[in-house]
Amino acid sequence: MGCSARIIAVDLARDILQANPNNYAVVVSAEMVGYNWYPGRDRSMLLPNCLFRMGCSAVLLSSLRRDSRHAKHRLEHLVRTRKGSDDRSFRFACLARFS
């Protein structure tokens, strides 16, 4: 799913729980960076290898009142923005050829 898709999935699960009260929703996401792994020796290109790794997470969301006593976190507010139509945002990310 990737970093940004997790937020979209949690927002969608929240909307589903609001439409169907007294239910549960599970969001499972995974990050696979093998495709973008940089195998070269250019130090400036190695930083993403250190920052972005493979992993996964899961969250169980509930709209049941009785579960609020046991919850470790509470989703108070969620804001999503989309900048894909802005050409500056689109051109910010680019791929470099490996030498």
pLDDT in tens, 73-96: 777 777 777 666 666 655 655 555
Q: What is the DSSP string of 60-90?
A: EEE--GGGGGT-S-----------TTSHHHH
For residue 65, tell me if it sits in a domain: yes
Q: What are the distances in angstroms from CA 49 to CA 38, 46, 56, 88, 94? A: 7, 5, 17, 25, 16
| 59 domain residue, yes or no | yes
pLDDT digits (tens, 9 = 90+) for 25-68: 999 988 877 777 888 888 888 887 787 777 888 999 999 989 88
pTM of the model: 0.63
Residue 99 resides in a domain: no
**Residue 74 in domain:** yes
Half-sphere exposure of 97 (CA within 13 A, CB side): 1
Domain that holds residue 33: 2-92
Q: Domain tally for the chain?
A: 1
Residue 17 confidence class, pLDDT cut points 50, 70, 90: very high
Alpha-carbon span 75 to 83, nearest angstrom: 24
